């Protein structure tokens, strides 16, 4: 389920597995980065670049929902190879979206954006996706 702003709920709840917690952390970091990009888009004078930035934000929002859903599915069936692969694919897609958005927003990302990207990458490393 998502919040009123269209982003998934990243509140850590009792009973969340380590995998779900890590996915929620990844999404929270990606969301922070996307919010930073939205501010840059608001100040962007080139309409094409602005459209691309906002499309990148939307891709992150959509793929954030997918990652959390896949984390819940895998947590319910942790030995299911297909679900492990789907979770890993969702992680990689979100990371790709984030990298794409970072490259769109500026050749030299702001310190806040760099920190959010680093945090998201660290969270991805802790979440247990199989990487393949």
Q: For 39-65, what is the mean pLDDT?
A: 95
Q: Pick the more confident residue, 118 or 54.
A: 54
Gap between the Cα atoms of 84 and 88, Å rounded: 6
Calculate the average pLDDT of the chain: 88
98 within 8 A of 128, measured Cβ to Cβ: no
Q: How many residues are recorded in the chain?
A: 132
Q: How many angstroms from the chain centroid is the CA of residue 40?
A: 18
pLDDT tens-digit map of 7-35: 999 999 999 999 999 999 999 999 999 99
Say whether pLDDT at 132 is over 50. no
**Angstrom distances, CA of residue 82 to CA of 9, 67, 74:** 25, 14, 9
pLDDT band at 125 (very low <50, low <70, confident <90, very high): low
What pLDDT does residue 119 have? Answer: 73
What pLDDT does residue 111 have? Answer: 77
Of residues 113, 127, 9, the one with CA closest to residue 65: 9
Q: For 116-130, what is the mean pLDDT?
A: 65
120 within 8 A of 33, measured Cβ to Cβ: yes
pLDDT tens-digit map of 90-122: 999 999 999 899 888 866 667 776 777 777 767
What pLDDT does residue 34 have? Answer: 95
């Amino acid at each position: 389920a998502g919040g009123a702003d269209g982003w998934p709920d990243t509140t850590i709840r009792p009973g969340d597995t380590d995998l779900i917690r890590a996915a929620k952390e990844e999404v929270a970091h990606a969301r922070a980065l996307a919010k930073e990009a939205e501010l840059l888009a608001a100040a962007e004078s080139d309409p094409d670049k602005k459209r691309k930035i906002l499309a990148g934000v939307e891709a992150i929002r959509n793929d954030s929902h997918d990652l959390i859903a896949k984390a819940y599915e895998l947590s319910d069936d942790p030995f299911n190879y297909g679900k492990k692969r789907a979770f890993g694919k969702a992680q990689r897609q979100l990371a790709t979206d984030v990298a794409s958005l970072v490259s769109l927003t500026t050749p030299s990302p702001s310190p806040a954006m760099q920190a959010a990207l680093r945090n998201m990458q660290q969270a991805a490393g802790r979440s247990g996706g199989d990487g393949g």
